[in-house]
Structure 1
Amino acid sequence: PPPGRGQAGPAAGQRRPEPENDWDGPQPEETHPFFTGADTPVPARGRRDEDDDRYDESDDAYDDHGGDGDRRGDGKKKGRSGRACLVVAVVLLGVVGGVSYVGYNFYQDRFGPPPDFSGSGTGAVQIVVPEGASGAEIAALLVKGGVVKSQGAFVEAQKDNPKGDTIQAGVYTLGTGMSGQNAVTKMLDPKSQDVLIVAPGWRNGQVYAAIDKRLGVKDGTTKAVAKSQLKTLGLPDWAQNNGKIKDPLEGFLLPGNYGVAKGTKPEAALKQMVTRADDAYTKADLVGEAEKRGLRDPWQLLTVASLVQAEGKTHDDFRKMSEVVYNRLKPTNTETNQLLQFDSTFNYLKGQSKIDLTEAEVNGNHDPYNTYTVKGLPPGPIGNPGPDALAAAVNPTSDGWMYFVATDGADKTEFAKTNAEFEKLKDKFNDNKGLGG
């Protein structure tokens, strides 16, 4: 470009020396105030000269060749700069303050304690916790019921409590406006649990009566519902129903704790139990295990489990009791000739629980459930087995056990492999009975 005004160009016939690169040649003097440290001049609003790149000096402005040197020392200029610095400082303080406020709120949202009530609760509200509910799901139910203020309040309190993860399914009576800590403590207190407990080995008749009592309905209501709505309760395909089976639902009211609150319909309570039983039996693979044990179907395996539950007294008894059942079912059994001879099956058909049966009463009865007179398994389960009995039914011992006697008449069961050993156990039982044991 042509040289600017006030700058000399090269002499005629001479060429300006070319720099070896972009940075070796002479560099123009830096005049920008950012680098020189000078105050930034503010051009006056003047008339633009059409023929020059300058403002009209009559307007007391400076041109692009340099500012008015007298103005650099002007006190007004310094005052203006001071005021500008003050404004910048105030703006910066405002920005810093705003950032701090936002940061504090962000910290509270991310890391601060969750919203929580401080009281122990008032009134009474029932909360139904379903099977398998997580802490967050329980917390959501509590928030919906007005028990706690936020899910986080309950979840954090549950984590802080060493037993917090032991809260089980069921119906809980709690208050509204409880702190998360108080809610967790209350739910861990058995007194707050409004649940129906089905014990291992309970017969269906006991379960029906317990449901009637819990719901406050007429005796026999749940039993009638079980009979009339059997097909809608969710039984698996392998469940059976024929004229010999006394209750097709026997064995499917799985032991455990159930949330059966006031106002629940009997069919809802029954469906809850059947669904849980079906899940448990599917996980245990009753279909495959029945085949391994040489049984006809999982229905028979469930029946074996119910016998083990009814006859066994302790956890250690169950596997031995299971072996006794399988050994007596064998075609090669010449000890009892495939007769199980279990008191529990006779008691089931009679709706009783006697331990000392007479030969006359058992030998004179030929009901399919009387295993003293009918070979093989009874037509169906005689109760609802718990998990230990079910596990024993699929994994019996293999020691050759064929007999057993509750020698103390109550809690102690002893086992034998031969008839001679069995007779000694019978004598021991009779001796204890004579002593009132």
Structure 2
Amino acid sequence: MTEYGRGSGPEPWHPEDPLYGDPGWGGHEAQQGQMPYGGGPQQQYPQEPQYQQQYVQQDPYAQHPQHAEQLQGYAPQQPHPAQQMQQPQQMQPVQQMQQQTYAGQGQAWDTGQLQYADPVQTVDPVQIVDPYAGAEPYAQQPIGGFPGEAPDLYGTDEAYPPPQPPGRRHLAPEPGLDEEDEDASDGDADAPAGGGRRAGRGKGGKGKGKGKKKDSRTACLVAAVVILGVIGGGGYYGYSYLKARFGAAEDYTGSGTGESVEVEIPQNATLAQMGRILKERGVVASTEAFIAAAQANKKGTSIQAGVYTLKKQMSAMSAVQVMVDPSKLNVLTIPEGWRAVEIYKAIDKKLGKPEGTTAQIAKQESKDLGLPAWAANNAKIRDPLEGFLYPARYDLSKDSTPQSLLKQMIRNANDKYAAIGIEEKAKALGLENPLQLVTVASLVQVEGNKHEDFRKMSEVIYNRLKKTNDVTNQKLEFDSTINYLKNTSNINVTREETRKLDDPYNTYFYKGLTPGPISNPGSDAINAALDPDKGGWMFFVSVDGNTTTFTKTFAEHEKLVAQFNERQSKKSGG
């Protein structure tokens, strides 16, 4: 047994403990005569003999401390000194009092008060009223005038802080005491209960302290891993940046492996875009190396768009040397004014096909290559594809075929003709159908020596087609038409040939336009056919073969023809 009664720990509670005498909570002391909340029986702890001689007024705040698990309410307390002054008859030695015990669970509880036969029935209701209701619970109590009275532990400079509610007493550690010390104190069953702390949380306290330490170590480890990851990642990217910024660009050596690859460079591509395309195709090792090699080459900025046949793992310098050479482009270029038969031969040669392969395909599959409905509306047309193989550069690949190239050329021509509104323009110019407008353009392309002559040549054609033309009787009389039907390029056509050759394409023999185009006109010739000159030109002749002279009258034309014949006679030695 201890001096003040045994708590949950092995040490007694000291009277100066702010929790001493506070097994419950109400913000003030319970009045004498009040029963503990709950009304249940309480355990009796006998007092030591030497303290049985003390008066009840010795400690107005003394209570019997109870264990946390056993508390049911407030234990009765001794009356306040002020009350003792009003009730002197109650100030009797404890040893002379008859102690009343409440039986319950085989134990007795010493109330330290007068005997009451029935605590519920005999307690005066007036005494149950709380005299401190509505007052400040921590206000300083009046100091009693009796000697030996205990000092007010809450009203001095060294006072302990007021007691806290049970649910908040251990929420935060006291200043100066860290969590580790708190856990250690709470978990040590032999630690003293003084200093304003309860002793002996038991195993639960120890387990909680260990959990906090383990969580702290885990958090530190995670933080260290994150920091190391950030430092490592930053170092890697920093090294990569410095290497890319100041180090030599990655590059292959030599002219590449034996594996070939086709690379298509789009129109208006920059050197950086070219480098990325080449790197993706496995030709160069890095974009930076290609840019540096192209800038070091005088022709590096003149690399054309198109398809190049290159090798994998080439040095950037080797790749640039191939690409600055236009002949290395894997393309097929169709010049303006080429006839269809010339284009067929070029396709066979470029694709490595036997001669005549493309011409045969064009003849047999003409209806399946995408020609417009108005293209082949004349049964006398020698080649329905003539005038629809649009002159341009065509990129080739390993998948290119004669059919694919012909379809692409016809598609380009259709796009061009649709863009100009060829059907409406043909009617506006007095032509029978759009095909005749393409035919005019093909004649302008062949007969016009230079682009600046195209609009004058276009006017000559339209003037000769007029019904009022009584000079040529609506005949064009173009040598180019004779050369087309004979598949030649001889500009010196005799009068005898023009009069004897009976063919729809002989414009000396037949009036009007040829059945179809005689070449594949380009953009300038098409535009000239749409917008002829207004100078009144009716005739033209090229005296030296380079310069074309246009005249309005037949007399002027005859003089130019005489000069031309004389020049031709001198060349032949006549």
Which residue matches 2:138? 9
Q: Please say if residues 252 and 285 of structure 2, whose CA atoms lie closer than 8 Å, have aligned partners that are also in contact.
A: no
Q: Which aligned pairs between 1:33-432 and structure 2 lie closer than 5 A? A: 40=178, 42-46=180-184, 48=186, 58=191, 94=228, 97-98=231-232, 100-101=234-235, 104=238, 117-122=251-256, 123=258, 125-127=260-262, 129=264, 142=278, 145-149=281-285, 164=301, 167-170=304-307, 172-179=308-315, 182-260=318-396, 264-408=400-544, 410-432=545-567
Q: By how many angstroms is 1:432 displaced?
A: 2.5
Q: Please say if residues 44 and 61 of structure 1, whose CA atoms lie closer than 8 Å, have aligned partners that are also in contact.
A: no
Q: By how many angstroms is 1:424 displaced?
A: 2.2
1:284 alignment partner AA: I
Q: CA separation of 1:373/1:388 partners in 2, compared to 1, >3 Å: closer, same or farther?
A: same
* Alpha-carbon distance between aligned partners in 1 of 2:264 and 2:447, rounded to the nearest angstrom: 34
1:418 alignment partner AA: T
* Alpha-carbon distance between aligned partners in 1 of 2:374 and 2:263, rounded to the nearest angstrom: 31
Identity fraction in percent: 41
Q: Please say if residues 214 and 261 of structure 1, whose CA atoms lie closer than 8 Å, have aligned partners that are also in contact.
A: no
Structure 1 vs Structure 2 CA RMSD? 4.5
Structure 1: which 5+ residue stretches go unaligned? Answer: 14-32, 50-54, 66-82
Return the TM-score normalized by structure 1. Answer: 0.73
Greater Rg over alpha carbons, structure: 2
Q: Please say if residues 43 and 61 of structure 1, whose CA atoms lie closer than 8 Å, have aligned partners that are also in contact.
A: no
Q: By how many angstroms is 1:340 displaced?
A: 1.0
* Alpha-carbon distance between aligned partners in 2 of 1:299 and 1:207, rounded to the nearest angstrom: 20
1:322 alignment partner AA: S
Q: Please say if residues 127 and 142 of structure 1, whose CA atoms lie closer than 8 Å, have aligned partners that are also in contact.
A: no
Residues 23-69 of structure 1, C-alpha deviations (whole Å, 9 max, x = no match): xxxxxxxxxx9xx9x795633434659xxxxx87816997679xxxx
* Alpha-carbon distance between aligned partners in 1 of 2:492 and 2:291, rounded to the nearest angstrom: 54
Which residue matches 1:52? none
2:479 alignment partner AA: D
Query: How many residue pairs align between the two structures?
Result: 390
Structure 2: which 5+ residue stretches go unaligned? Answer: 1-24, 30-135, 143-171, 199-216
Which of 428, 431, 434 in structure 1 is aligned with 2:569? 434
* Alpha-carbon distance between aligned partners in 1 of 2:529 and 2:195, rounded to the nearest angstrom: 106
Q: Please say if residues 159 and 165 of structure 1, whose CA atoms lie closer than 8 Å, have aligned partners that are also in contact.
A: no
Q: Which has the higher contact order (CA 8 A, sep 6+)?
A: 1
1:308 alignment partner AA: V
Residues 327-366 of structure 1, C-alpha deviations (whole Å, 9 max, x = no match): 2122233332221111111111111112121212102223
Q: CA separation of 1:47/1:393 partners in 2, compared to 1, >3 Å: closer, same or farther?
A: same
* Alpha-carbon distance between aligned partners in 1 of 2:359 and 2:472, rounded to the nearest angstrom: 36
Q: By how many angstroms is 1:139 displaced?
A: 6.8
Residues 155-212 of structure 1, C-alpha deviations (whole Å, 9 max, x = no match): 8988999865852334x23221135565355223123123333221111111112222
* Alpha-carbon distance between aligned partners in 2 of 1:260 and 1:413, rounded to the nearest angstrom: 37
Q: CA separation of 1:8/1:401 partners in 2, compared to 1, >3 Å: closer, same or farther?
A: same
SS at 1:282's partner residue? helix
* Alpha-carbon distance between aligned partners in 2 of 1:3 and 1:153, rounded to the nearest angstrom: 84
2:252 alignment partner AA: S
Q: Please say if residues 234 and 274 of structure 1, whose CA atoms lie closer than 8 Å, have aligned partners that are also in contact.
A: yes
Q: CA separation of 1:245/1:106 partners in 2, compared to 1, >3 Å: closer, same or farther?
A: same
